[in-house]
Amino acid sequence: MGQIIQLVIQFRYPLIFLGAIVEGPILTVASGFLLNQGGFNLVPLYLTLMMGDLVGDIGWYYLGYFFAEPIVRRFGHFFSLNLETFEKIKSVFHKKSSIILFVSKITMGFGMAIGTLIAAGAVRISFRIYMFYNVLGEFIYVAALMLLGYYFGFIYNRIAASFKILSLFGLLIVTGIAIYGFSHYIKTKALRKL
C-alpha cells in the first residue's frame, strides 16, 4: 500500500491531468482543497488542470465536428430537430460564438457545457476562435473552482481544530465522570464493609 501511495504522490500531476480530461470541475475543487493542505504547488497544479480540461474540450469539439450533423440528419426528428432548425442554430452560433463560448466556459454552461462544446464543433466554429475563448474562459473557470476548494480547505482546518478542542473537552468530561464514578464506587464499597 505504501508503494502505491508513493507512486500516486510521484505522479500526482500527470494523474491530475488525466482526471481533468474526464471530470474537470469536481477535480478542480478537490485540487484547490489539496493545495490548501500542502499537497500541490499552485502554478503547476493550475496549468495542469487547465491543460487537462482543454484537452477534454477539444475532444468534445471534434465529437460535434465529425458526428453531430450526421446524427441530426438521421435521428433529429426524434428530438424535433430538422436540418432547417440546425441551420438556424448554426447562424446564431456563428454570430454570437464569442459570447456563447466564453459565458458557457465560465458558468460551466449552466449545466449544458458539454452540449455547447459539441454544438461549437457541429456548427463548424473556427477551431482557433473556439480555443481562444475556451482558454480565456479557462483562466477564470479554473481559478474560481480552485479558490472554492482552497476556501473549503480553510473551513476544514477550522472545523478540524474545533473538533480537536471539543474532543479534548469531551475527554476531560469523560475522565472526570469516570474518576467521580470510580471514587463513588470505592466509597460505597468501603461503607458497605463498615
What would the pLDDT profile of 9-43 be if each residue is shown by its tens digit? 889 999 999 999 988 888 998 999 889 888 899 99
CA–CA dist 148, 33 (Å, integer)? 8
Contact 157, 35 (CB under 8 A): no
Residue 97: what are its φ and ψ, rounded to 5°? Answer: -60, -40
One DSSP character per residue, 29-52 reads HHHHHHHHTTSS-HHHHHHHHHHH
**What's the pLDDT tens digit per position in 61-91?**
999 999 988 888 888 778 777 778 888 888 8
C-alpha cell at 131: 480555443
Q: Which has the higher per-residue pLDDT, 140 or 107?
A: 140
Q: How confident is the model at residue 177 (pLDDT cuts 50, 70, 90)?
A: confident
Task: Supply the pTM of this predicted model.
Answer: 0.74
The CA distances from residue 163 to 151, 154, 156, in Å, are: 18, 14, 10
C-alpha cell at 185: 464506587
Q: Which has the higher per-residue pLDDT, 47 or 175?
A: 47
Give the type of residue at 40: F
